[in-house]
């Protein structure tokens, strides 16, 4: 029996290679794309509250900058690994190219559980990390963003430290070093829920293609953090009924629908949606296999595998998380006629509004929320149709089509630049 491949780096290398072969590209294109252009590993010292000093490993993968500066999140998590960071930087290259924004892929992380640190320790750690990263990042080089266990406050500390280190102050020359900043410190309105909004926009477009509507559709959301929580709220606002949701501690179900904002408030106040009372307890495994119209996996990688893909009953899967479905599971879902909106399209709303923030920082001129959401809507709808038309033309699933669209765009620019 062949063991299913779960290493995210090997998965994305395989996906990129298949796209290069199907597009008939030269071997040199894959040779460049199969590894990051640069991988940075640093030891980050921080003085703890008790006066002791600890060091934490930090990484930054810069995959490809053919289309523009590297772009991608920074996560603080005890399970961060080099292969995970590299894979996520690959996916960012693809994601940026799918939505056609002028960025390349980057990703980074610190091997730490910030929940075990005080706020002051997290601040000192973040500033120390930026001191190590500063030679490798900048508005025109590499612009990190929030990710797992990082937020707008962490981005503010990083931006402030960079501006102090480089003498760029807080004017247009330095603020774009990171995105996802607080609104009053160079952030963009609409950024917080942008990933979720992109998910719902692309879900609506997919529903139109299969003759369904968001109105009255049943929804299950795995992961009730920023992406999953806002996706649930936006789905309910669009007329859907969110019947199930889960987090790392478990799940809840109510056939009459969950009040998504109330569940969000309970999660924020208590640390878990399982503390919401008016619902039945379920497991994450049960949620994934629930008989619903729309399933939104918005947690972590490798949640839908060959072991459970055959039990998926949802009509549409919209991937809020990065890499929630393995290639083997993809094949099973395709045979079952499950319509999948892949992560590199579905959750690209976040990087799209990060791009808007970067543009606004560079110009020193800021848009209102209506304009941000309208621009996001247009980019996500256009990207969906580019991918859908490619899938129909090449007779491949949406994930394969997204890779074809993205790899061709990157390859075309690499050729123009004389790289291949």
Alpha-carbon distance of 287 to 246, in angstroms, equals 8
pLDDT of the residue at 335: 87
> Helical H runs in 308-397?
327-335, 343-346, 349-363, 369-394
Alpha-carbon distance of 367 to 362, in angstroms, equals 13
pLDDT of the residue at 254: 95
Q: Looking at the DSSP assignment, which residues form a beta bridge with residue 55?
A: 45
Alpha-carbon distance of 59 to 39, in angstroms, equals 7
| Residue 239 DSSP one-character state | T
pLDDT of the residue at 353: 95
Q: Token pair 């629930």 is at which residue?
A: 290
CA atoms lying within 13 Å on the CB side of residue 23: 25
Alpha-carbon distance of 417 to 194, in angstroms, equals 32
Residues annotated as catalytic (active site), given as ranges = 107
Task: List CB contacts of 90: < 8 A, sequence separation 6 or more.
Answer: 9, 12, 13, 16, 33, 36, 63, 105
Of the candidates 239, 376, 276, 380, the residue with the CA atom closest to the CA atom of residue 318: 380
Alpha-carbon distance of 313 to 127, in angstroms, equals 46
pLDDT of the residue at 120: 98
Mean pLDDT for each consecutive 10-residue tract of the chain (420 residues)?
A: 69 90 94 96 97 98 97 94 93 95 96 96 98 95 92 95 83 82 93 93 96 95 92 96 94 94 94 91 93 92 87 94 87 90 93 95 92 96 97 92 96 96
Domain ranges of the chain: 24-172, 194-346
pLDDT of the residue at 3: 62
Interhelix angle 369-394/349-363, nearest 10 degrees:
130
Q: Token pair 């320790």 is at which residue?
A: 121
pLDDT of the residue at 1: 47
Burial class for 160, CB neighbours closer than 10 Å (0-12, 13-18, 19+): buried
Q: Could you count the other beta carbons within 10 Å of the beta carbon of residue 1?
A: 3
Alpha-carbon distance of 74 to 294, in angstroms, equals 29
* CATH node for 24-172: 3.40.50.10860
Task: List CB contacts of 164: < 8 A, sequence separation 6 or more.
Answer: none
Interhelix angle 398-416/82-98, nearest 10 degrees:
80
Same fold, 24-172 and 194-346: yes
Q: What is the pTM of this model?
A: 0.91
Q: Tell me if 178 sits within 8 A of 158, measured CB to CB.
A: yes
* CATH node for 194-346: 3.40.50.720
Alpha-carbon distance of 342 to 403, in angstroms, equals 10
């Amino acid at each position: 029996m062949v063991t299913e491949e779960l290493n995210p780096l090997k998965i994305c290398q395989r996906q990129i290679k298949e796209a290069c072969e199907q597009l008939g590209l030269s071997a040199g294109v894959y040779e460049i794309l199969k590894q990051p252009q640069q991988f940075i590993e640093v030891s980050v010292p921080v003085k703890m509250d008790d006066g002791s000093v600890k060091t934490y490993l930090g990484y930054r993968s810069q995959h490809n900058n053919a289309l523009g500066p590297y772009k991608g999140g920074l996560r603080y998590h005890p399970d961060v690994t080099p292969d995970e960071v590299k894979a996520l930087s690959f996916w960012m290259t693809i994601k940026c190219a799918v939505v056609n924004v002028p960025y390349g892929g980057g990703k980074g992380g610190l091997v730490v559980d910030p929940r075990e640190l005080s706020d002051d320790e997290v601040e000192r750690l973040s500033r120390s990390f930026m001191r190590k990263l500063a030679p490798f990042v900048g508005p025109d080089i590499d612009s990190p963003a929030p990710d797992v266990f990082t937020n707008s406050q962490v981005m503010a500390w990083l931006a402030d430290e960079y501006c102090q280190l480089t003498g760029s102050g807080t004017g247009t020359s330095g603020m774009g070093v990171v995105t996802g900043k607080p609104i009053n410190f160079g952030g963009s309105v609409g950024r917080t829920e942008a990933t979720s909004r992109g998910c719902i926009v692309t879900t609506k477009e997919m529903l139109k293609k299969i003759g369904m509507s968001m109105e009255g559709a049943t929804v299950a959301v795995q992961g009730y953090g920023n992406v999953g929580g806002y996706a649930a709220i936006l789905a309910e606002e669009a007329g859907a009924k969110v019947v199930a949701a889960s987090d790392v501690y478990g799940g809840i179900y109510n056939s009459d629908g969950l009040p998504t904002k109330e569940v969000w408030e309970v999660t924020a106040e208590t640390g878990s949606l399982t503390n919401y009372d008016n619902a039945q307890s379920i497991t994450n495994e049960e949620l994934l296999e629930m008989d619903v119209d729309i399933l939104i996996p918005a947690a972590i990688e490798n949640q839908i595998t060959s072991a459970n893909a055959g039990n998926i009953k949802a009509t549409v899967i919209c991937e809020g998380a990065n890499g929630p479905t393995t290639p083997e599971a993809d094949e099973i879902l395709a045979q079952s006629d499950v319509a999948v909106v892949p992560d590199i399209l579905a959750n690209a709303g976040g990087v799209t509004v990060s791009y808007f923030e970067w543009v606004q920082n560079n110009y020193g001129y800021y848009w209102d929320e209506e304009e941000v959401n309208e621009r996001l809507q247009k980019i996500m709808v256009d990207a969906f149709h580019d991918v859908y038309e490619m899938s129909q033309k090449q007779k491949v699933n949406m994930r394969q089509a997204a890779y074809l669209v993205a790899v061709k765009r990157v390859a075309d620019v690499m050729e123009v630049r004389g790289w291949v």
